[in-house]
Amino acid sequence: MENNSAAGYWKATLGLLTKIMVVWFLVSYGAGILFADALNSIHLGGYPLGFWFAQQGSIYVFIALIFFYAKKMSEIDRKFDVHEE
């Protein structure tokens, strides 16, 4: 891989990681702690939404992030021709 191509690959990878970490932060810290009072006015399945996010919702989002990361990294790998066969 050329230096220019390698730099582009790492830039794309770090951009993806940054986006995923922002979502992770907003869901775990934001929905579970910072915005919990505002979210508690909404109920999901009989439970306040802030409580639901803190207990279960964040886990679902984290699992979705894993699949999203795998799909996007596969696309980045193909784009820069470093994918596995």
| Amino acid occupying residue 42 | I
pLDDT in tens, the chain (85 residues): 577 788 999 999 999 999 999 999 988 888 878 888 888 899 888 888 888 878 888 899 999 999 999 999 999 999 998 877 7
The answer to whether the CB of 83 falls within 8 A of the CB of 77 is yes
* CB proximity list for 57: less than 8 A, separation 6 or greater: 27, 31, 49
Task: Give the HSE-up count for residue 51: Cα atoms under 13 Å, Cβ half-sphere.
Answer: 9
Counted residue by residue, the chain has a size of 85
Tell me the C-alpha distance between 85 and 59, whole Å. 31
Q: What is the pTM of this model?
A: 0.80
